[in-house]
Structure 1
Amino acid sequence: MKNKLKIINGDILTPYKIIEGGSVLVENGRIVEISQSYIDSPQAEVIDAKGSYVSPGFIDLHVHGGAGHDFMDHSIDAFLKIAELHAKHGTTAMCPTTLTSLKEDLIETLHCYEEANKVNKSGAQFLGMHIEGPYFSMEQRGAQDPRYIRDPDPNEYKEILKWAHLIRRWSAAPELDGAMEFARYLKSVGVLPAIAHTDAVYEEVQEAFENGYTLLTHFYSAMSGVTRRNAYRYAGVIESGYLIDELDVEIIADGVHLPVPLLKLIYKIKGPSRTALITDAMRGAGMGEGESILGDLRDGVKVIIEDGVAKLPDRSAFAGSVATADRLVRTMCKDAGINLLDTIQMITSTPARIIGIEDKKGSIVPGKDADIVIFDKDINIINTIIGGKSIYKNEEFAERLIKSQSI
């Protein structure tokens, strides 16, 4: 007998419209049918969405941790706990992300990733690592540890890229010596180059784009705007993101890193097809306010979690977010006033396209992986389904929803 799952009575978020009161049929981990009416499949397990939204699973291209753990803890358990925490908030796939560190730490983290990926059965899927740093501008380091910031070193990155099959993307500052050669090498081994923690000007970004840098990491955060050199003004990375239409941008849409007016501006100019929502979440995601550590527990940076964000102790800069994916969707819809379909595109099909998995993930379309999230009108997650398997159900909320509909 085939492994079947049927979702009924849901408002299905497709790439083109919302199918109200529709059904989705899943077989062997893939979507096989979508209908505006009831699908007859008597052997299927049934999930009644009870009028809630049925969405593609959220894809987070940039996440460092959560639930008190960080991907640089060098622990398989940390990888699994982070994946489980974010799955509860609607993330079905993610790129675990590093911080600026020694080469040896990066390689150890890659080894942990490889082992954790083999046993990750109850959390968000891993799509490949995101190496963030260490090739950054010291002036735009933000919370990145200055002890480890350096220029691209071919001997170093070529050794790390022996594990390119485990790496999906790598963020760097394009104005550094050797950054163009670095990007070309990344492309040659199938890794996406991205621009981050940079003081580049437009001309340098244009050259970077021509050499393979096609994504701006956490747009606006730790990157240059208009600058003056002597008497002359130069457009920075932010302006470049707007001027170069083909550049993709990712944004921390927690309402803190970027206030609502900037969220609206990015949406207005770049649009949902070039904008990906990311959490950039550190270990404090899913935890309360107080002290925490950014990066490795053994050698990380002390931070304070308050006002819904992580900050350096002197409060001079943000130090990563504590957002979860559902918060991003809620902020864009409820605060910035972006329509739901466009918001969902920015956290599903757009990130899938950016990292080249749009043929498998990112939309509720027959033939694609059955990565599905069910949530209510206030973006409260009710069910998270990965590969056709329900890995999270908010039993308490589902019960309240049933009672509210019976009144």
Structure 2
Amino acid sequence: MNKTIIINGRIVLPEGVLADGCVEFADGKITAVKEGPYNGQATGTIINAQGNYVSPGFIDIHTHGAGGHDFMDGTVEAYLGAAQMHARHGTTALLPTTLTSTNEELLNTFATYKEAKAQNRSGAAFLGLHLEGPYFSYNQRGAQDPKYLRNPRPEEYETILAASDDIVRWSVAPELDGALEFGRRLAERGILPSIGHTDAIYEQVEEAYRHAGYTHVTHLYSCMSTITRRNAYRYAGALEAAYMMDDMTVEIIADGVHLPASLLKYVCKFKGPDKIALVTDSMRGAGMPEGETILGSLKDGQRVIIEDGVAKLPDRSAFAGSVATADRLVRTIVSLAGVQLADAVKMMTLTPARIMKVDDCKGSLAVGKDADIVIFDEGINVKTTIIGGKCLTIH
């Protein structure tokens, strides 16, 4: 057993931070979490945290790419490059996320994902695929290419489901014709149906939540209905439904741009860290300089502009995904929303792990869980990333 011991660290646990402690791991699993200073008697490889924070690895359940790579590029190189960039910023596991596209592109994505997962040795681990679209509201399409939007039909989605056993999440507008039946089909297969890019009113969301398995909300506030008037009557929207349904989980792009400080504080106050996952929703521009780039595949994607710390459509009518990394999300939710560090970390680790039902092996520093660990300083700048016990990044 090749044991490694992280010493002199402030250990971030779901319930708070240990001022001084050690984390031991061997063969890719955590073997001990101890409070108190290292006594110097144990044998094994020593990593000195030097008083920095020792946290579970970050889990990003909604990302399209990073480092000049997009998962829709359809290449193994893009998958591995994006995973490596995210790992440098503390992400130890992620869900590669698609955009609306042709079915041909989607089927190519499935094959590429399998090959990339088998080759991934130096980046954030892949937990399965998140399909974002094409079953979205036209009015709430955001940067999704409108020519691919359509309603879910069994003859199409059954073909897609049969083509891959790696789909673990699918974002859908639940008000579309056929969406409730589709949600129930996803839930039967153990795939998370998520509400996104939706113009639904409250009652439609409630039905989807209670009767079709839609228990999660994709990027709260972004591309989402709120209070509207129809025939002079007011109707609550998907946004209000997300707050009213206590057990519904949500995700937020906490880059400080998609949601300002006031809304970050609001969602944290009323949903809390156990129901909020931080997501990057990052596109290829994450970790890259500002300027023009492509959202989606290099072949068929849309031209977008990175400026002011976010990606925008060329006419600046909408955001086009973020350029955030996980460390920026944690830093922002602490600095702008005043969230305690342990809660901020929970929203980037244990809560997304629970949403995706992988909390038995990921999401917290506990004996028996995967040795996915990140060490960061007071400013939440990543110093070391450890994935499955392998130290991949040291700054």
TM range (shorter): over 0.9
8 Å Cα contact 2:264/2:336 also seen in 1: no
Determine whether 1:88 maps to 2:88.
yes
Matches within 5 A, 1:270-281: 270-281=271-282
> 2 CA distance for matches of 1:164 and 1:174?
23
SS across alignment from 2:72:
helix
Match of 2:4 in 1: 5
Amino acid at match of 2:19: E
- Equivalent position SS for 2:111: helix
Partner of 2:264: 263
Correspondence 1:24-39 to 2 at 5 A: 24-37=23-36, 38=38
In the TM superposition, what is the alpha-carbon distance from 1:162 to its structure 2 partner?
1.5
Q: Distance in 2 between matches of 1:102 and 1:32?
A: 46
Q: Deviations over 1:163-213 (max 9, x none)?
A: 442111000000000001100111111110000000000000001102100
Instruction: Tell me which amino acid in the other structure corresponds to 1:354.
Output: I
Assess if the C-alpha contact under 8 Å between 1:241 and 1:247 holds in 2. yes
CA contact (8 A) 1:21 1:36 kept: yes
How far apart are residue 3 of structure 1 and its match?
A: 2.1
Is the aligned partner of 1:292 residue 2:293?
A: yes
Amino acid of the residue matched to residue 158 of structure 1? E
Q: What amino acid is the match of 2:242? A: G
Cα deviation 1:204-232 (Å, max 9, x = unaligned) = 00011021001100000001000110110
Cα 1:101–1:39, aligned 2, differ >3 Å: closer, same or farther? farther
Counterparts of 1:264 and 1:252, CA distance in 2: 13
CA distance in 2, matches of 1:75, 1:25: 36
Residue of structure 2 equivalent to 1:399: none
Cα distance in 1 between the residues matched to 2:225 and 2:42: 58
For 1:247 and 1:327, the matched residues in 2 are separated by: 25
Q: CA deviation at 1:146?
A: 0.5
Q: Per-residue CA shift, 1:266-316, capped at 9, x if unaligned?
A: 000000000000000000001111001000110101100000000000000
Aligned to 1:223: 224
Does 2:145 correspond to 1:145?
A: yes
* 237-246 or 155-164, which deviates more: 155-164
- Mapping for residues 4-23 of structure 1, pairs under 5 Å: 4-23=3-22
Alignment of 1:6-405 (within 5 A): 6-37=5-36, 38=38, 42-210=42-210, 211-394=212-395
Secondary structure (helix, strand or coil) at the match of 1:256 reads: coil
Q: What's the secondary structure of 1:139's corresponding residue?
A: coil
Partner of 1:398: none
Counterpart of 1:366, as a letter, is V
Partner of 2:223: helix, strand, or coil? coil
Residues in 2 aligned to 1:183 and 1:202: alpha-carbon distance in whole angstroms:
17
Counterpart residue type for residue 391 of structure 1: L
Q: State the AA in 2 paired with 1:150.
A: R
Amino acid at match of 2:389: G
* Misfit runs of 4+, over 3 Å: 39-43
Q: Look up the SS of the partner of 2:158 in the other structure.
A: helix
Q: Distance in 1 between matches of 2:163 and 2:359?
A: 23
Unpaired runs of at least 5, structure 2: none
| Contact in 2 for aligned 1:11/1:19 (Cα 8 Å) | yes
Identical columns (%): 59
In the alignment, is the contact (CA less than 8 A) between 1:201 and 1:235 conserved in 2?
Answer: yes
Contact 1:164 1:191 (8 Å CA) reproduced: no
Write the letter of the residue equivalent to 2:230: R
SS of the residue corresponding to residue 165 of structure 2 reads helix
Instruction: Give the CA deviation at 1:10.
Output: 0.0
User: Would the aligned equivalents of 2:110 and 2:164 in 1 still touch at CA under 8 Å?
Assistant: no
What RMSD over aligned residues (CA atoms) do the two structures have, in Å? Answer: 0.9
Mapped contact 1:205–1:240 kept (Cα < 8 A): yes
One-letter identity of the residue aligned with 1:327: R
User: Against the structure 1 CA distance between its residues 299 and 172, is the aligned structure 2 distance closer, same or farther, given a 3 Å change threshold?
Assistant: same
Q: Contact (CA 8 Å) 1:226, 1:235: kept in 2 or not? A: yes
Query: Using the alignment, how far apart are the partners of 1:115 and 1:276 within structure 2?
Result: 28
Q: Deviations over 1:230-269 (max 9, x none)?
A: 1100000000010011110000000000000000000000
Work out whether residues 139 and 199 of structure 1, in 8 Å CA contact, stay in contact via their aligned partners in 2.
yes
TM superposition shift of 1:42: 4.2
1:41 positional shift: 6.2
Query: Residues of 1 paired with 2:164 and 2:41: CA distance?
Result: 42
Amino acid aligned to 2:147: R
- Distance in 1 between the 2:331 and 2:14 partners? 19
| Contact persistence 1:103–1:156 (CA under 8 A) | no
Q: Distance in 2 between matches of 1:65 and 1:112?
A: 14
Whether the 8 Å contact between 1:164 and 1:189 is mirrored in structure 2 is no
Letter in 2 for 1:362: G
Q: Distance in 2 between matches of 1:174 and 1:113?
A: 27
C-alpha contact 1:25 1:39 (8 A) present in aligned 2: no
Q: Give the TM-score of the pair, scaled to structure 2.
A: 0.98
The alpha carbon displacement at 1:342 in A equals 0.7
